[in-house]
Amino acid sequence: MPIQQSDVLYTAVATAENGRDGRVATDDGTLDVVVSPPKELGGSGTGTNPEQLFAAGYSACFQGALGVVARQEKADLTGSTVTAKVGLGKNGDGFGLIVEISAALPNVDPQTARGLVEKAHQVCPYSRATRDNITVTLV
């Protein structure tokens, strides 16, 4: 169920100039980066790109959701990491994304780890936002 504006606890604001070949910055100045297409897409690759920014946000958000689930189940996430791989490719007459989320949970047995990752995927706001829109694979 979508949230209502009255339920919003925080709003991030970022402004892009010149799209994929320019600059993006947040209104509070904590993020201010040059963006450029990667070499694989004919760009210079000298700046970051939207897919890298999405991967960074998704991995951080997913790790946060994993922490919530692990606390509920009293699992030890010490030393854990979450990596998001975001692919951009042709999708019909346009472009689309595909995501692979990899979680390393060194202090949790594999079966428990898989369960935690699947539960985190149900509660992570990025996972919820992309559900049924793009393919997300959990590793």
Question: Which CATH number do you get for residue 10?
Answer: 2.20.25.10
Q: Are residues 75 and 90 in the same domain?
A: yes
Q: Are residues 28 and 54 in the same domain?
A: no
Tally the domains of the chain: 2
Q: Are residues 24 and 84 in the same domain?
A: no
Rounded CA-CA distance 27/94 in Å is 30
Q: Are residues 24 and 42 in the same domain?
A: yes
Q: Are residues 40 and 61 in the same domain?
A: no
Convert the pLDDT of each residue in 2-16 to its tens digit: 789 999 999 999 999
Q: Are residues 30 and 65 in the same domain?
A: no
Convert the pLDDT of each residue in 23-61 to its tens digit: 999 999 999 999 999 999 999 989 999 999 999 999 999
Contact 62, 126 (CB under 8 A): yes
Q: Which domain holds residue 61?
A: 50-138
Convert the pLDDT of each residue in 81-116 to its tens digit: 999 999 999 988 899 999 999 999 999 999 999 999
Instruction: Name, in order, each residue with C-beta under 8 angstroms of 44's C-beta and a sequence gap of 6 or more.
Output: 36, 37
pTM confidence score? 0.93
Task: Round the CA-based radius of gyration of the chain to a whole number and report it.
Answer: 17
Residue bearing tokens 């992309």: 130
Q: Are residues 65 and 128 in the same domain?
A: yes
